[in-house]
Structure 1
Amino acid sequence: MSELPKTFDPAAIEAHWYPHWEQAGLFRPDRPQAEPWTIVNPPPNVTGSLHIGHALDNTLQDILVRHARLQGKDARWVVGTDHAGIATQMVVERQMAAKGEKRTDLSRQAFVAKVWDWKAESGGTITGQLRRLGCSMDWSDERFTMDPGFSAAVLKVFVQLHREGLLYRDKRLVNWDPGLGTAISDLEVETREVSGSFWHLRYPLADGSGFIHVATTRPETMLADMAVAVNPADERYTALIGQQVRLPITGRLIPIVADDHADPELGSGAVKITPGHDFNDFEVGRRAGIEARDMLNMLDAQARVVQTADGLIPAGYLGVPGNDAKAPMDARRMVVAALKAQGFLVPHVDKDGVEHDAEPRRIQTPYGDRSGVVIEPWLTDQWYVDAATLAKPAIEAVRSGAVKIVPKSWEKTYFNWMENIQPWCVSRQLWWGHRIPAWFAEDGSVFVAETAAEAQAQAGEGVALTQDEDVLDTWFSSALWPFATLGWPDNTDPTLGGRYSNDVLISGFDILFFWNARMMMQGLHFMQEVPFKTLYLHGLVRAADGAKMSKSKGNTVDPLGLIDRYGADALRFFMAAMESQGRDIKMDERRVEGYRNFATKLWNAARFAQANGIAASATLEPPVATLAVNRWIVAETIACVQALDLAFADLRFDGAANTIYQFTWSRFCDWYLELIKPVLQGGAEGGDETRAVAGWVLDQILVMLHPFMPFITEELWHALADPAHPRSNDLIVARWPMADARAIDPAAAQEIDWLIRLVSEIRAARTELNVPPGARLPLYVRDASAATLARLTAQDAVLARLARVDRIDGDAPAGGALQIVVDEATFVLPLGDVIDLDAERSRLTKAIAATEKERDALAGRLSNASFVERAKPEAVEKARTDHSEKMAEAARLHAALGRLG
């Protein structure tokens, strides 16, 4: 055995073992005859760096991968990065801007080449950081969504979906980012509450008989209004349905339509409809028979007001020269001024009777999470996938159990979204990404093909074609991740056969629809098989106070900093122990530090083993044991394996982590090692047996703990090796323990559990009664059964050592004594020679009175409805916690007083 250093140094261990595992090829699946087990990593952005959410997600995945590998399965963890169209293009454009350059200074081809150069130079940051976390990914087969093979799969899917009528070009509203100049997904929209206004307008009826009142937070959009909607059940407007109003400023006539979107209980019950600039209005407009091609679009790509229903803004219109574009806020001021001047603005009267142009409001406003500008609903021509058709098999897969969602509570959300799914916009106005394989002829004809030559063949000779400038949404390509990474459609990967369907997918709940559901849709359509059998959705890692982490709040946590301070093993164990099936995790650095202390305790236990001749086990089966303490620890080990197996089967990461933690810290380190010291250090009979059992149990701990704490366990696995029986393999590919119930001895378990209860009771009582730690107490027993007397005889040396008592036969002398009841027996420990009994009774009585006073005061606060309802939730929760603690303390003190006979 190589002697372990006195101090546990995580950094040194991590720096040694990860390169060893990777260079030895131990992350690659190499057991072709074994049961296959596959998982894919949600590909991080190539621009990304490790954040705390990545740390959680990848830790959970690595735990499962390492566990499967230890079970002897041919475990494969598919790894790679996503080309992240918007994020990557922004990074490169920012670098160019710093040099005074613009993307448009280059040709498209030159710019894309520059992005590839950036990727080669700076695009692998996060992969190095995943290594620091200990992720046992198959790096030899790392993928990238812009690799040639993957790109071929993307083009094939696009073309096939188009051929099947499931992908088409359409004019619809999209989330438009004026800062980036592209459509974006809902996931890239960040809603913020901002100060705004609510304007009330009067639209005159065309026949001059009166007005209809509407309200809006965006008065400038009235230039593109196409209708006013009222609820068909609203009797105030029944007679007006079908009539027209004359739009203020422009004079254009628009109809009054009936639609349930108008809520009679809100405002006037009438709503202005701008189908080209509001998602709800778009649907109202379509129900009213307005075709998308006829909907008015008043904005340009920078969200400037450039046109109205009457074409470009005419000279003098809104007081601006012809063809001048106006920023939204400028246009708003002009529109409001014009409405006011013409008498169409209804003033808001505040509580003091003062008139204002508008009513102040807090408004939920969409912003681009990268650009930081306001997102506009914008009417454009884009490519769409018929998601509703593709969703049907994915819905059935969950209903039938072919895909199991954990936790099950997410199923309702999944079904609700999938059953109401909208067409999926898959085109983006970028240069970096998979360019859409569609070519346009001058007459507007479109030819979709995987290559330009195929498109030309479709169009015919002499037809000039121009390829679509847009690229595909990054989520479109990442939806193919489970099968495109495995060589589809060419099946170039020899291990593809039978290995496509992943055993489990782990991801945050926030990408359930953007990635998980779309993988299910594409996988079922193209592979006729679910892409994963189980979908595990974890929660968010939040700040210590429960707030969502964000850079703007300054409450983010750097996982690499935590690794620097406490080691990767401690951070990983924290993530596992706190992950409770989808519930959010509150970041608590003290807990991370606590798990570093746990690793240190294991380290010291291994050093104790080395110092006492305990080495690695020479057998997979538990050694033959005759001593009760050894039979007990073998049974406890088997019970731990059983509990872990159940926790892994149910994906209870917290349950698994807490099981191995309690067994290692409490049963093995705190009790077993203490219980065997008399045998190891006192020359008692059974030393060889005990060393063999202890070495076997320590081996099982290292194997069971390895998925959670891979670095320290691998180090100890080798450090404890007996030179006479060298390890034949690294721990990462060892064998998972078998939960063999035949090794459980109930009688031994009962005996040692009794001993632990007795020692614990004596120790607690000594502490409560202020007995000096070094004082030895006489121990008398009363009413003991023959079985208890036999146990006392067998465990006399251990009891004397751990409880600092000397057993004496006969009756206890009269006088004050500590009394403990365990099962049928009463154990009496006279205290008169050790402490002042009267003083101790007085101390306990005063402590009880003080504690009960605090307890009752807290109970009074909690019974006060005003406090519970009005106080901050954290203050109420603290009061409840304090009350529980005072109740427990009072009970403990009463028990201590009662023990003084």
Structure 2
Amino acid sequence: TVLVSSDVGRSKLKIDHHYSIRFRAKAGAVETKTHFPELVLGAVAVAVKASGPFGKFAGQKARHPVSGNEVPVIAVDELAADAVFLVPAHNRSDDQIARDARIRERVVVFDEKGAVSIAGYAELSLEEARRKVLEHIGADATQIAGHEAIDAHRCQRCEAVVYQRYSEQFFVNVENGAGHLRRAIETGAVQFSHTRWRERVLAHLENLEPWCISRQQWWGNKIPGHPGEVFSTWFSLAAWALQGAGWPAQPAPAPIDEVFVDPELLLRWIVPSQIVALLITGRPAFQHIIVHGRLQISERALQTRAELSPEAHDEERFLFRAVRRPMRHSLGNVVQPSTLIRRFGADALRLGYLLCVENGFQEAATAAESKLKRGRKSVHLLTAKLAGLFSMLREPWHVGEARPADKFIIAQATAAAGEARRAYEEHRYTDAAVILIEMIEAFGRYVNLISARRQAGHNLGAVTAATAAVMTRMQSAFSPICPFVFEKIGKWIVAQCANAGAEPLIEPWMDELLKQASVLRQRESIDLMQTPLAKLPKRERAEILHLTKNFLT
């Protein structure tokens, strides 16, 4: 397949051998080192370290071990190895060395599909071509054992080893618009969820290269007048962003208010989209850029303890360790959302994922099973407690006036809803999830109080009206997190609380107390006995203190 440089990253490739391939000259042989012998098919010259053992061959000709043609031997002052064969069609540094030596020949070993394109090898797989090359070279090729880690180009998505090959593509000189985006960021026209993302984008703008916008794939938006060529996904997304903002119907549309991306999309999609929009319309495509961590999972990996001898027992030599790895198809660790939904439920999955992403700057978000289970437990607690409460209310128990605990649970729901909305506005989504869980636990304790009233033979207070008020506030604030559960709860409230009566009025001191707790965040510093709570009858005071467990301390 065809990749562009932005699709490719560098990483270490562990190998246990390399090859020595000899290019023979009149005065002897130049031994070149390579890890990929099939690349010798594209060799057009041999480079030797000027001060190395083969420096004396500089300026001579050497025989190509496969084609038999003569290739020049050139001296290079700074060369990592003593001698290498140059394949400028597939290696950037080789290409630069060849250009400096005025060597213009380029032999392409791999076609656009990654298959060997040299005559006599075209029908072979990569491994077959490698074996045939080594057989052809014969005694002038030696495999040498030895473990080492080498720099390799890899596809950033599937991690396959990539050979470089140059081809004609379409480019946009986005670097010409970097100044426009820099000014938009510095003036506040473009904002980020964290200052470190702002700094990263500004640093990225200092080293922009022309943006390759073409691909040779079977899918994509076709480039007019160029069969077999399609626009890259990133360019198509940039066009989509412009269209979403209102262009071309509006020549200078207002930016889209918010966009949510991971670190990779920030640089590969958002930055060029912003530049293109600024160049075309004079305004950015997006105003607020919210960056969340890329998804990864924690796996158990079996690792060897190097300090122990091979004779040690396996249970001593091997340990299971937690390893965090990106979720990718190539690693075989992708978990389909449908699988998680079947296990945890859609709402619990959303709630659990918000617990995983955390607030602020985060390069990666770890999908932890424990947090998904916590989300599921909270959703089940809410529905179970509400169903149990409605079951109790079907019996002919006396419902009386609102008691302090009935009012306080409404005050708690009011405070939680307000705090959640502020968390949304400030992009503190983990905080919003925690607030929901705390409110669910507080409501669970309230249902326990109602059950205790019932068992003691006391009137249940204004439980129906209080429950309707609490659920209405929770539905309004937390439906974005758990839409399906609160849609169901909304229907329950309509059916079960139609005759609930007037909503109990919250006493001012309750609101004030909860606002103070929300602002301070150090809830243990609030002495509840210094509030009007101390003046309540013992039973009423005990009920409110029970409600404030884990909500106020």
Whether TM exceeds 0.5 here: the answer is yes
Deviations 1:135-158 (A, max 9, x none): xxxxxxxxxxxxxxxxxxxxxxxx
Deviations 1:179-198 (A, max 9, x none): xxx55675488989575642
The residue identity in structure 1 corresponding to 2:229 is: D
What is residue 577 of structure 1 aligned with on the other side?
355
SS at match of 2:270: helix
SS at match of 1:791: helix
What is residue 660 of structure 1 aligned with on the other side?
436
Assess, with a 3 A threshold, how the Cα gap between structure 1 residues 537 and 523 changes in structure 2: closer, same or farther. Answer: farther
Assess, with a 3 A threshold, how the Cα gap between structure 1 residues 398 and 676 changes in structure 2: closer, same or farther. Answer: farther
Pair 1:540 & 2:295 matched = yes
What is residue 435 of structure 1 aligned with on the other side?
222
1:707-856 equivalences in 2 (<5 Å): 707-721=480-494, 722-723=497-498, 744-746=511-513, 791=534, 794-796=537-539, 799=542
Pair 1:252 & 2:76 matched = no
SS at match of 2:72: strand
CA deviation after TM superposition for structure 1 residue 253, in Å = 3.7
Deviations 1:867-886 (A, max 9, x none): xxxxxxxxxxxxxxxxxxxx
The residue identity in structure 2 corresponding to 1:516 is: I
1:252 & 1:514 partners in 2: Cα distance?
44
What is residue 372 of structure 2 aligned with on the other side?
592
Question: Which sits farther off after the overlay, 504-513 or 475-484?
Answer: 504-513
CA deviation after TM superposition for structure 1 residue 385, in Å = 2.6
Contact kept? 1:229, 1:259, Cα under 8 Å: no
Contact kept? 1:524, 1:530, Cα under 8 Å: yes
1:327 & 1:482 partners in 2: Cα distance?
42
Select the structure with the greater relative contact order (CA < 8 A; seq sep ≥ 6).
1
1:417 & 1:681 partners in 2: Cα distance?
68
Assess, with a 3 A threshold, how the Cα gap between structure 1 residues 747 and 534 changes in structure 2: closer, same or farther. Answer: closer
Deviations 1:510-544 (A, max 9, x none): 33333233322322222322222232233214145
**2:238 aligned residue (472, 479, 490):** 479
TM-score (norm 2): 0.71
Deviations 1:831-864 (A, max 9, x none): xxxxxxxxxxxxxxxxxxxxxxxxxxxxxxxxxx
Assess, with a 3 A threshold, how the Cα gap between structure 1 residues 725 and 247 changes in structure 2: closer, same or farther. Answer: farther
Deviations 1:31-72 (A, max 9, x none): xxxxxxxxxxxxxxxxxxxxxxxxxxxxxxxxxxxxxxxxxx
Contact kept? 2:22, 2:32, Cα under 8 Å: yes
CA deviation after TM superposition for structure 1 residue 710, in Å = 0.8
2:130 & 2:514 partners in 1: Cα distance?
84
Deviations 1:365-387 (A, max 9, x none): 66779999864322322222334
What is residue 388 of structure 1 aligned with on the other side?
175
2:263 & 2:444 partners in 1: Cα distance?
38
CA deviation after TM superposition for structure 1 residue 217, in Å = 1.3
Assess, with a 3 A threshold, how the Cα gap between structure 1 residues 596 and 468 changes in structure 2: closer, same or farther. Answer: closer
**2:425 aligned residue (646, 649, 652):** 649
1:704 & 1:418 partners in 2: Cα distance?
39
SS at match of 2:175: helix
Of all paired residues, the percent bearing the same amino acid is 21
Pair 1:698 & 2:471 matched = yes
Contact kept? 2:295, 2:327, Cα under 8 Å: no
Contact kept? 1:629, 1:672, Cα under 8 Å: no
RMSD after superposition = 4.9
CA deviation after TM superposition for structure 1 residue 717, in Å = 2.1
1:347-496 equivalences in 2 (<5 Å): 347=142, 356=143, 359=146, 375-398=162-185, 401-411=188-198, 413-415=200-202, 417-438=204-225, 467-486=226-245, 488-491=247-250
Contact kept? 1:506, 1:538, Cα under 8 Å: no
SS at match of 1:529: coil
Q: Structure 2 stretches of 5 or more lacking a match?
A: 301-323, 395-400, 502-506, 518-522, 547-552
CA deviation after TM superposition for structure 1 residue 580, in Å = 1.4
Deviations 1:474-530 (A, max 9, x none): 322122221224553245xxxx985x4222211233333332333223222223222
The residue identity in structure 2 corresponding to 1:670 is: R
SS at match of 2:170: strand
The residue identity in structure 2 corresponding to 1:296 is: V
1:241 & 1:415 partners in 2: Cα distance?
48
The residue identity in structure 1 corresponding to 2:376 is: R
Q: Which has the larger radius of gyration?
A: 1
CA deviation after TM superposition for structure 1 residue 788, in Å = 11
What is residue 519 of structure 1 aligned with on the other side?
273
Pair 1:218 & 2:36 matched = yes
The residue identity in structure 2 corresponding to 1:744 is: D
SS at match of 2:292: strand
Assess, with a 3 A threshold, how the Cα gap between structure 1 residues 369 and 224 changes in structure 2: closer, same or farther. Answer: same
2:213 & 2:198 partners in 1: Cα distance?
25
Pair 1:502 & 2:256 matched = yes
SS at match of 2:283: coil
Contact kept? 1:550, 1:556, Cα under 8 Å: yes
Contact kept? 1:433, 1:471, Cα under 8 Å: yes
Contact kept? 1:245, 1:253, Cα under 8 Å: yes
Q: Structure 1 stretches of 5 or more lacking a match?
A: 1-176, 308-312, 314-319, 348-355, 439-466, 615-624, 727-739, 751-755, 758-785, 804-822, 824-901
CA deviation after TM superposition for structure 1 residue 708, in Å = 0.6
2:100 & 2:182 partners in 1: Cα distance?
27
Pair 1:275 & 2:88 matched = yes
Assess, with a 3 A threshold, how the Cα gap between structure 1 residues 335 and 551 changes in structure 2: closer, same or farther. Answer: closer
Contact kept? 1:610, 1:720, Cα under 8 Å: no
1:326 & 1:608 partners in 2: Cα distance?
70
SS at match of 1:540: strand
**1:295 aligned residue (106, 111, 118):** 106
Deviations 1:731-790 (A, max 9, x none): xxxxxxxxx99972349999xxxxx99xxxxxxxxxxxxxxxxxxxxxxxxxxxx97999
Assess, with a 3 A threshold, how the Cα gap between structure 1 residues 585 and 681 changes in structure 2: closer, same or farther. Answer: farther
What is residue 199 of structure 1 aligned with on the other side?
19
Assess, with a 3 A threshold, how the Cα gap between structure 1 residues 537 and 210 changes in structure 2: closer, same or farther. Answer: farther
What is the number of residues matched between the two proteins? 497
2:234 & 2:543 partners in 1: Cα distance?
67
CA deviation after TM superposition for structure 1 residue 715, in Å = 2.0
CA deviation after TM superposition for structure 1 residue 569, in Å = 1.1
2:537 & 2:197 partners in 1: Cα distance?
55
The residue identity in structure 1 corresponding to 2:88 is: P
What is residue 306 of structure 2 aligned with on the other side?
none
CA deviation after TM superposition for structure 1 residue 657, in Å = 0.3
1:489 & 1:375 partners in 2: Cα distance?
39
CA deviation after TM superposition for structure 1 residue 567, in Å = 2.2
2:385 & 2:153 partners in 1: Cα distance?
56
CA deviation after TM superposition for structure 1 residue 797, in Å = 6.2
SS at match of 1:220: helix
1:611 & 1:357 partners in 2: Cα distance?
78
Assess, with a 3 A threshold, how the Cα gap between structure 1 residues 217 and 705 changes in structure 2: closer, same or farther. Answer: same
Pair 1:560 & 2:324 matched = no
What is residue 316 of structure 2 aligned with on the other side?
none
SS at match of 1:381: coil
Assess, with a 3 A threshold, how the Cα gap between structure 1 residues 709 and 300 changes in structure 2: closer, same or farther. Answer: closer
2:133 & 2:531 partners in 1: Cα distance?
94
Contact kept? 1:298, 1:305, Cα under 8 Å: yes
1:639 & 1:790 partners in 2: Cα distance?
18
